[in-house]
Amino acid sequence: MAGSAPGSAPGGGRPLIITEDPLLLDDLLRLCAAAGAEPHVHHALPEQTGADGVDGAAADGAAGSAGWDTAPLVLVGDDAARRVRGAPRRAGVFLVGRELDDPRVWQRAVEIGAEEVLRLPDAESLLVDRIADVVEGAGRPALAVGVIGGSGGAGASTLACALAVRAARAGERTILIDGDPLGGGMDVLLGGESAEGLRWPDFAASRGRVGAGALEESLPELHALRVLSWDRGDRVVVPPAAIRSVVAAARRRGGVVVVDLPRRVDEAVAEVLAQLDLVLMVVPGELRSVAAAGRVAAGVRMVARDVRVVVRGRCPGGLDPETVAGLLGAPLAGEVPVEVGLPGRVAEGEAPGSQGRSALARFCDGFWQRALGSTQGVPA
């Protein structure tokens, strides 16, 4: 056996590689490194000739000793397929090679119970994703909620912060993402502008898959949640590809992701909207704000799957929440009254949503109870 850490046991969240092809092994080790995985490496299992060319009992015993049953993912080189033909059937087996034009390769894949046949280098990106899913413990992705103002000063950033704070206090793994480079910084709103950790400009060069665990650990932790904000530098542009990779990584480990969105939908914002389960549009209950929100909603609906209205406050002689939602042609998610004194408390360091009995906190708690209680998406 080669490639295992001293004293480590097979399996335990580490992929298993079975091949005698040194060039293929180099490729697979490189892809595992790209995915942040340290694999166990075995040469092909011992071949013993029987009636069909392989002694199934021998292969079964060898496979068990090599971690075949316990490894979360098994990568079998095309050169080794015949030698593992008698191993027990299991999920998570992939037949991998560089030259897979031989039509018999599909027969060999069926014989070992492989889920897929992967040809390198074409399938490198797919294979890195599969390996990284094993390392990170891929499961149900986070519920991703965007918050956008229908008009200027609607209070979208305040609601986004409060939603994140309340989710974290309810025990959810929570990441708050600042999607507005001109908004002044969500870390400032949470009183953490000097907190150590990475900001958006640090991810501008990101390409391909970003490690979910590494992302989370690199961000500032404020009020029991992680925050990806903009810094106070001059850079206000991150390439859409980098934004797509970072948001996908934020979602990958489950829990809740809340994104504060700008009102203008450009290519970068569209990348975020495409990964959201739901967008809450915050609209003051007066006619001019509703007119502005209609234009914002038109841009958001081009990409977002689900857009709902949150009415903030009632102006004297203004519109009731149902009328606002009706004029915008979107479902009503609820009403958040204007909270007197909140701006002053935030300026003194209090995070929005911190006071559990406030109207803002009660709205957020009710929203999460409905949203997280659904196993079929976000309930209407």
Confidence at residue 132, expressed as pLDDT on a 0 to 100 scale: 82
List, in order, residues 6 or more apart from 107 with CB less than 8 Å away.
none
Number of helices and strands (H, E) in the chain? 13, 13
- Which H/E stretch holds residue 17? strand 16-18
Whether pLDDT at 6 is above 50: no
Confidence at residue 149, expressed as pLDDT on a 0 to 100 scale: 96
Residue 94 bridge partners (DSSP): 75, 116
Long-range pairs for 23-29: beta carbons < 8 A, 24 or more residues apart: 23/98, 24/77, 24/78, 24/79, 24/96, 24/97, 24/98, 24/120, 25/77, 27/98, 27/120, 27/121, 28/75, 28/77, 28/96, 29/3
Determine the average pLDDT of the residues in 34-58: 60
Confidence at residue 67, expressed as pLDDT on a 0 to 100 scale: 81
Residue 260 bridge partners (DSSP): 147, 178
List, in order, residues 6 or more apart from 2 with CB less than 8 Å away.
41, 42, 43
Q: What is the dihedral of CA 38, 18, 137, 133, to 10 degrees?
A: 90
Please, which pLDDT band fits residue 120 given cuts at 50, 70 and 90? very high
Confidence at residue 239, expressed as pLDDT on a 0 to 100 scale: 93
Confidence at residue 365, expressed as pLDDT on a 0 to 100 scale: 95
Confidence at residue 14, expressed as pLDDT on a 0 to 100 scale: 86
Determine the average pLDDT of the residues in 3-32: 73
Confidence at residue 34, expressed as pLDDT on a 0 to 100 scale: 81
In which residue are the tokens 């969105």 written? 261
For residues 163 and 154, what is the distance between their CA atoms, to the nearest angstrom? 15
- The rounded Cα 291 to chain-centroid distance in angstroms is 34
Question: pLDDT tens for residues 57-115?
Answer: 444 444 444 588 889 899 999 999 988 888 899 989 999 998 777 788 889 999 999 99
Contact predicate 167/198, CB 8 Å? no
- 364 or 345, which is more confident: 364
Confidence at residue 348, expressed as pLDDT on a 0 to 100 scale: 82
Cα first-last separation, the chain: 55
Whether pLDDT at 43 is above 50: yes
Length in residues, the chain: 380
The SS3 assignment for 148 reads: strand
List, in order, residues 6 or more apart from 271 with CB less than 8 Å away.
240, 241, 243, 244, 247
Please, which pLDDT band fits residue 374 given cuts at 50, 70 and 90? low
> For residue 290, with 0-12 CB atoms within 10 Å meaning exposed, 13-18 middle and 19 or more buried, which class applies?
buried
Confidence at residue 371, expressed as pLDDT on a 0 to 100 scale: 92
Confidence at residue 280, expressed as pLDDT on a 0 to 100 scale: 98
Confidence at residue 376, expressed as pLDDT on a 0 to 100 scale: 45
Determine the average pLDDT of the residues in 317-329: 91
pTM for the whole structure: 0.73
Dihedrals φ, ψ of 190, to 5°? Answer: -95, 5
Whether pLDDT at 184 is above 60: yes
Confidence at residue 138, expressed as pLDDT on a 0 to 100 scale: 61
Please, which pLDDT band fits residue 271 given cuts at 50, 70 and 90? very high
Number of Cα atoms under 13 Å in the Cβ half of residue 145: 32
For residues 378 and 372, what is the distance between their CA atoms, to the nearest angstrom? 7
DSSP class per residue in 262-330: -SS--HHHHHHHTT-SEEEEEEEESHHHHHHHHHHHHHHHTT-S-EEEEEEEE-TT---HHHHHHHHTS
Determine the average pLDDT of the residues in 177-203: 92
Percent of the chain with pLDDT over 70: 87
H-assigned helices in the chain: 22-34, 56-65, 104-112, 124-136, 156-169, 186-189, 212-218, 240-252, 267-273, 287-301, 321-328, 342-347, 359-372
Q: Which amino acid is at 48?
A: Q
For residues 284 and 156, what is the distance between their CA atoms, to the nearest angstrom? 10
Confidence at residue 233, expressed as pLDDT on a 0 to 100 scale: 83
Confidence at residue 39, expressed as pLDDT on a 0 to 100 scale: 92
In which residue are the tokens 């209950």 written? 285
Confidence at residue 316, expressed as pLDDT on a 0 to 100 scale: 65
Whether pLDDT at 8 is above 70: no
- The rounded Cα 116 to chain-centroid distance in angstroms is 24
Whether pLDDT at 372 is above 60: yes
Which range, of 9-13, 215-219, 222-226, 316-320, averages the lowest pLDDT? Answer: 9-13
Question: pLDDT tens for residues 209-261?
Answer: 787 888 899 999 999 999 999 988 888 889 999 999 899 989 988 899 999 99
Which range, of 41-50, 96-105, 147-156, 209-218, averages the lowest pLDDT? Answer: 41-50
Contact predicate 169/224, CB 8 Å? yes
- 258 or 376, which is more confident: 258
Contact predicate 150/128, CB 8 Å? no
